[in-house]
């Protein structure tokens, strides 16, 4: 899974019918401290994540192992909202 | 999913029989503002996307979760045409 | 799918039994103009592609959605030979 | 599989129900000597790996071929804890 | 598939039970001439490949399409040992 930060949303009128009603959030990869890096990507939100949240995303067929995403043309899902991370023996990120 | 911009098309006479009649578009990855970066790739279009459109593409087996692409030797599909994106609290891209 | 140029072949005596008789070509990724970049990779050829051809390759489980590659330990297949590409409104590549 | 070093943990209250009780560890890719490089990622631990352990992780659908991870929205699992590695004819890493 | 050179082995006492008896080799990616580049990764060996061999590895679910790797938490398998490669019209690599 990737650690990522939610930075925005995408709105689409024209889309595959299985995506109607789905929330497609824009994320940027982040390290264990919540510091973002690299290019944005999009994942389906099934947990009502908010802008600024640090989350975990599962990719590939793993992104379709939820009731909401199964059999849909998607390849990434937010499957956890991170409360905090611990690295090198101390708290590296704490949700605000 | 990747955010990408449609930049062109590919034409092939010799191809797997399951691809006959399929529209194979050339895309370049883009950020949330629609700014392209990196190398081009190709995805099946099932939504009649146009040149210049900002779209989302699903990859891997996710690219075959549509009626048009199932069981075909493809690994990417356009599953949404983006109307607009919102990032950092403001509109980052608006379809022209 | 990736755009790629066929640059060579690999010959193996010791291989998985499902690969006996399969043609394994060496490719390099290419852009929409056919200009190569990056490191080589190998894909199964099901279309009798020739050295120098610009082709499309499907990866992952998509590489096994052909009669020839199904259930084999492979992760990439050539599923189209490109005649020409169009980008930014003009022909970017034309097969020689 | 990737060679990786366990550097920490993530704690989440809000997560997919199939992840309740799962240990999600933070890892960094490592070479055969155990030297880390690149950005962190997260994998499910099924082997009670400890902080500092050098492990192997399987990705994609391979990450769900265990009793603990099957049918869950995950894409990476720790499937081996490395005792030692041998490279270029000599021991390159030895667990402390 | 990736072209790769076998550089070593990993030994693990603690591992998923489906991996008992499996040989897990360390490889580095290589080009068509056998010249290595980039970071090492690990694949299951089903062909009794030796240190220094140039091989092909199949990734993702393709890595589980052998009798030895099916249903196991692995994502890469050696499916061919290369005798020689031909690129740009001449032999680029010849097994020693």
- Residue C51 contacts B where some CB pair is shorter than 8 Å: no
Q: Find the residue in E nearest to C64 (Cα).
A: E62
Distance from CA of A78 to the nearest CA of D (A): 8
Give the residue from chain B lying closest to C61, CA to CA. B61
User: Which of C13, C16, C42 minimises the CB distance to E83?
Assistant: C13
**In contact, E4 and E45? CB cutoff 8 Å:** no
B41 contacts on C by Cβ (under 8 Å): 1-3
pLDDT for residue D26: 98
pLDDT at B96 over 90: no
Residues of D in contact with E16 (CB under 8 A): 46-47, 66, 79-80
pLDDT by position in tens, chain C (length 96): 999 999 999 999 999 999 999 999 999 999 999 999 999 999 999 999 999 999 999 999 999 999 999 999 999 999 999 999 999 899 999 998
- Picking from E50, E56, E70, E74 by the largest number of C CB atoms within 10 A of its own CB, the best residue to mutate is E56
Backbone angles phi, psi at D5, to 5 degrees: -110, 135
State the smallest CA–CA distance between residue D88 and chain A in angstroms. Answer: 31
- Residues E59 and E2: beta-carbon distance below 8 Å: yes
Q: Region B47-67: what's the mean pLDDT?
A: 97
What is the overall mean pLDDT for chain E? Answer: 97
For residue E90, the model assigns a pLDDT of 96
pLDDT at D49 (0 to 100): 98
Instruction: Give the gap in angstroms from C-alpha B23 to the nearest C-alpha of chain A.
Output: 16
Q: Is E89 helix (H, G, I), strand (E, B) or coil?
A: coil
CB contact under 8 A, D74 and A58: yes
Instruction: Give the nearest chain A residue to D64 (CA atoms).
Output: A62
Does D68 contact E at CB distance below 8 Å?
A: no
Report the pLDDT value the prediction gives residue C96, as an integer from 0 to 100. Answer: 87
Residue-by-residue DSSP string for D24-87? EEEEEEB-TTS-B-S--EEEEESS---TT-EEEEEEGGGGG-STTTTTSS--EEEEEE-SEEEE
What does the DSSP assignment read for E1-60? -EEEEEEEEEE-SSB-GGGTT-EEEEEEEB-TT--B-S--EEEEESS---TT-EEEEEEG
Which pLDDT value is given to residue D96? 87
Answer whether E73 sits within 8 Å of D62, measured CB to CB. yes
Q: Which tens digit of pLDDT belongs to each residue from E8-27?
A: 999 999 999 999 999 999 99
**pLDDT single digits (tens) B17-42:** 999 999 999 999 999 999 999 999 99
**Closest residue in D to A61 (Cα–Cα):** D61
Give per-residue pLDDT as tens, A48-85: 999 999 999 999 999 999 999 999 999 999 999 999 99
Annotate chain A with DSSP letters as a single string.
-EEEEEEEEEE-SSB-GGGTT-EEEEEEEB-TTS-B-S--EEEEESS---TT-EEEEEEGGGGG-STTTTTSS--EEEEEE-SEEEETTEEEEE--
Q: Does B81 touch chain A (CB under 8 A)?
A: yes
pLDDT value, residue A47: 97
Q: Give yes or no for C26 touching B (CB within 8 A).
A: no
Mean pLDDT estimate for chain B: 97
> pTM score, two decimals?
0.97
Where does the pLDDT of residue D39 fall: very low under 50, low under 70, confident under 90, or very high at 90 and above?
very high
CA E27 to CA E36: how far, in whole Å?
A: 9
Q: What is the set of domains in chain D, with CATH numbers?
A: 2-94 (2.40.50.220)
Of D29, D59, D86, the CB nearest to E8: D86
Whole-number pLDDT of residue D33:
98
């Amino acid at each position: 899974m990737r650690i990522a930060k939610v930075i925005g949303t995408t709105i689409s009128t024209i889309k595959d019918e299985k995506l109607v009603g789905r929330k497609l959030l824009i994320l940027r990869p982040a390290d264990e401290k919540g510091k973002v890096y690299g290019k944005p990507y999009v994942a389906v939100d099934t947990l009502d994540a908010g802008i600024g949240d640090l989350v975990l995303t599962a990719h590939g067929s793993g992104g379709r192992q939820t009731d909401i995403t199964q059999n849909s043309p998607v390849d990434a899902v937010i499957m956890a909202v991170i409360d905090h991370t611990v690295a090198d023996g101390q708290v590296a990120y704490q949700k605000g």
